[in-house]
Amino acid sequence: MLIIPAIDLKDGQCVRLYQGDYRQLTVYDADPVAVARRWQAAGARWLHVVDLDGAAAGAPQNLAAIKAIASATAIPVEVGGGVRDVATLGEVLALGVARVVLGTAAVEDPVLVGTACCKWGERVVVGIDARDGLVATRGWRETTSVPALTLALQMIELGVRRFIYTDIARDGTLTQPNYAEVAKLVQSVPVPVIASGGVASLEHLRRLAALGVEGAIIGKAIYTGDIALATAIAALQTVEALGDAH
């Protein structure tokens, strides 16, 4: 299982929100490139970057920082936040990132998702951000009546090949992931699922790995020190090696 560090950008800085609330924000570093290099040095094989300003505004706002991160690291970067048309998607990919995450667009403009999947294939990922099982959009500020699984199944028909599932109520809380919802999605879709929200310990990561997720995104826990990224990566690689041996 991949362990993917998150870098959330607001006003060009590396921050974390509590349950997606822009009013409950903590700045962890003014230099997101330094943070990206730190996570790469710790052994990360992917980076997950979110343009929080973009998610709220409806168009990317931290393109310079995203380009700097992609240029300064040798590992692939996936980016989400405010990408809601094909032109913008192409613009973000042109910055040197490997994948772009569509969230609000998946709900509001499914034709865009189908077009993007035809054009870019696996470089397009759909982020399913759920609150109480229902999909939230527009920087998590609006909750729809669409169940997470319903959206996932619709997206697969449009060609989506990977999902990132985030439980908003767990995000930034250091409680634990929503294992039941993650398991339901993993068991219901024939494509990889990356889990996000609530990871705070190695045990949480092991339980997610046992559910069959492709990866787990870690945010607050690696900034507070609750999880040492290099230790977690090594521990999960050991588990995988033991599993392969049997």
CATH of residue 182's domain is 3.20.20.70
Q: What is the pLDDT of residue 242?
A: 44
How far apart, in whole angstroms, are the C-alpha atoms of residue 220 and residue 222?
A: 6
**Rounded Cα–Cα distance for residues 158 and 183 (Å):** 22
Please count the structural domains in the chain: 1
Q: Please confirm, yes or no, whether 8 is among the known catalytic residues.
A: yes
Quote the pLDDT of residue 239. Answer: 54
Structure tokens at 108: 């509001």
Which member of 53, 129, 167, 171 is catalytic?
A: 129
Structure-token match 């500020």, residue found: 141
pLDDT in the model for residue 140: 62
25 CB neighbour count, 10 Å cutoff: 16
Query: For the chain, how big is the Rg over CA atoms in Å?
Result: 16
Where helices occur in 123-192 by DSSP H, the ranges are 148-157, 179-188
Q: Which of 8, 53, 167, 171 is labelled catalytic?
A: 8
244 among known catalytic residues = no
* Domain hosting residue 134, numbered range: 2-245
Which phi and psi angles does 174 have, rounded to 5°? 55, 35
The residues with which 96 forms a beta bridge, in sequence order, are none
Question: For each of the chain's 246 residues, which pLDDT tens digit applies?
Answer: 999 999 999 999 999 887 777 888 889 999 999 999 999 999 999 999 999 999 889 999 999 999 999 999 999 999 999 999 999 999 999 999 999 999 988 889 999 999 999 999 999 999 998 888 888 877 667 788 899 999 999 999 999 999 999 988 776 666 889 999 999 999 999 999 999 999 999 999 999 999 999 999 999 999 999 999 999 999 988 655 545 544
Which stretches does DSSP call E strand in the chain? 2-10, 13-18, 21-29, 47-51, 77-80, 99-102, 124-131, 134-137, 142-147, 163-167, 193-196, 215-218
